[in-house]
Amino acid sequence: MLRHRVIPIVLIDGFSVLKTINFKQRRNLGSPVTVSRTYNTRNVDELILLDIDASKQGRSIDKFTIMDISQELFMPLTVGGGIRTVKDIEMVLKMGADKVAINTEAILRNNFIVEGANEFGRQCIVVSLDVIKVNEQYCLFSHSANKIIEINLLDFCMKVQELGAGELLINNVDKDGLMSEPDFKLINDIAGCVGIPIIAAGGVSVPNDCTRMIQAGASAVAASSLFHFTGYTPQDCKSDMRENNIPVR
């Protein structure tokens, strides 16, 4: 039986944790090691660490930051930010990550997904997609280039699955940081066209939102603001899922 996951997302700008709103406004939240240590004590299922400035600045995520965080954790760690080559993937895994999240390079060079999956196994490859709604249509958004990508979202999801992605991380730009209820239709649309696990992020305001995201088709729920700015914990989200007969880890 598939057991669903609740995954905190830690965003960094190189060395400091931050929280964004719609991928624009930023609030600094301190040390990633300290934040990760806190999540470790809360027995979360996994942790996602994303350096959101790495690709834009033409660099990779700092390897020592990954190493410092991985040494604090007793859970799987997914790392993303500026990953452009097989050597980048190898470095991230050697520093202690279990999976890599590929965003910009997955769009610019689809074959990179194939290269990564062939070298390290598709279970290591998470394709991270930033989604924005324009004229009632879901579109891919490139944070590094700050523009909409002219690719059909659902077609692209099916394509990256075929190329070797093991999971999809769907970041809803319109909901980012607002805690204004997730877009359940977006989750349902993507779940209806792929067979790989979907990690859905964006808009979670209360634990029941996580339950409804799973009911919409997500395999896992990722959140940040909920855990940074409210009293809710990942365990609260799991408890709500259990009350609704959803198996959790």
Chain segment 51-98, per-residue pLDDT in tens: 988 888 888 888 999 999 998 888 899 999 999 999 999 999 999 999
> Where in the sequence is the domain holding 108, given as residue range(s)?
5-243
Residue 248 counted as domain residue: no
- Per-residue pLDDT, averaged over 25-41, amounts to 79
- Domain-located, residue 179: yes
Answer yes or no: is 104 within a domain: yes
For residue 181, being part of any structural domain is answered with yes
**pLDDT of res. 228:** 82
Q: Is residue 230 a part of any domain in this protein?
A: yes
195, part of any domain: yes
DSSP states of 76-93: -EEEESS--SHHHHHHHH
Q: Centre a 10 Å sphere on the Cβ of residue 232 and count the other Cβ atoms it contains.
A: 17
Query: If phi over 0 gives left and psi between -120 and 50 gives alpha, with beta otherwise, what is residue 23?
Result: left
Q: Is residue 38 part of a domain?
A: yes
In a domain? residue 178: yes
- CATH number of 29's domain: 3.20.20.70
pLDDT at 233: 92
Give how many domains the chain has, as a whole number.
Answer: 1
